């Protein structure tokens, strides 16, 4: 069994920065969710907002890494309209029941992280071993090294522990900005 896989979707690059640094920090394989829609066009923002609000599941490409092969999969999303990005919803639903353990992270402008991290646990059907929420301002200012390292250590540690058969109920994330910098 391989150890760690970091999976993410990113439209404008923030989640990509975090995902790449996380994968480097914990020597994980990295997978970008390939959204077949294309969202960079003029109506991309509105379309993304609508899909997120309506909990739509857009078509995504087949994953190149198999989640079952990994002791832990960390999934990252931008927040769209207080929801996970719609391609991440597609990914979690497609692979629900295939994860050994999960951890979730999100990037956002300023609100909705607690709800989204909880939603990801509910949708995946699994309690996260840890969560991380990072604001765009902190990512731009490169002020996220410490929380990223804490998160990285937590998931590395969890990936080495034996898997218990029952994952237990899904509990809410600890706080709005679990492991995030408080401004």
Ligand X SMILES: Cc1cc2nc3c(=O)[nH]c(=O)nc-3n(C[C@H](O)[C@H](O)[C@H](O)COP(=O)(O)O)c2cc1C
- Residues contributing to the site for ligand X (CB under 6 A): 10-16, 45, 48-49, 78-82, 107-112, 136
Nearest distance in Å: CB 110, ligand X? 4
Q: Which is nearer to ligand X, 134 or 154 (CB)?
A: 134
Q: Which is nearer to ligand X, 13 or 125 (CB)?
A: 13
Which tokens hold the place of 125? 């059907």
Nearest distance in Å: CB 48, ligand X? 4
Angle subtended at Cα 180 by Cα 166 and Cα 63, rounded to the nearest 5 degrees? 55
Q: Which is nearer to ligand X, 71 or 92 (CB)?
A: 92
For residues 137 and 2, give the distance between their C-alpha atoms in angstroms, rounded to a whole number.
34
Q: Which is nearer to ligand X, 123 or 180 (CB)?
A: 180
Q: Which residue is nearest to ligand X (CB)?
A: 78
Backbone angles phi, psi at 133, to 5 degrees: -130, 125
Nearest distance in Å: CB 19, ligand X? 9
For residues 183 and 81, give the distance between their C-alpha atoms in angstroms, rounded to a whole number.
22
Nearest distance in Å: CB 77, ligand X? 8
Distances (CA, A) of 72 to 33, 139, 146, 178, 180: 17, 24, 21, 19, 21
């Amino acid at each position: 069994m391989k150890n760690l896989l970091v999976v993410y979707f990113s439209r404008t690059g923030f989640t990509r920065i975090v995902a790449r640094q996380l994968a480097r920090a914990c020597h994980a394989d990295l997978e970008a969710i390939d959204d077949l829609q294309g969202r960079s066009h003029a109506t991309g923002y509105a379309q993304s907002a609508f899909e997120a609000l309506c909990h739509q599941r857009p078509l995504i490409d087949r994953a190149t890494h198999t989640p079952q092969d990994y002791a832990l999969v960390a999934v990252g999303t931008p927040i769209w309209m207080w929801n996970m990005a719609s391609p991440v919803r597609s990914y979690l639903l497609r692979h629900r029941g295939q994860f050994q353990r999960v951890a979730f992270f999100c990037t956002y402008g300023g609100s909705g992280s607690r709800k989204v991290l909880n939603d990801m646990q509910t949708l995946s059907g699994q309690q996260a071993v840890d969560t991380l929420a990072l604001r765009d301002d902190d990512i731009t200012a490169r002020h996220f090294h410490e929380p990223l390292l804490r998160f990285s250590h937590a998931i590395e540690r969890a990936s080495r522990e034996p898997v218990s058969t029952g994952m237990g109920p899904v509990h809410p994330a600890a706080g709005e900005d679990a492991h995030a910098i408080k401004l």
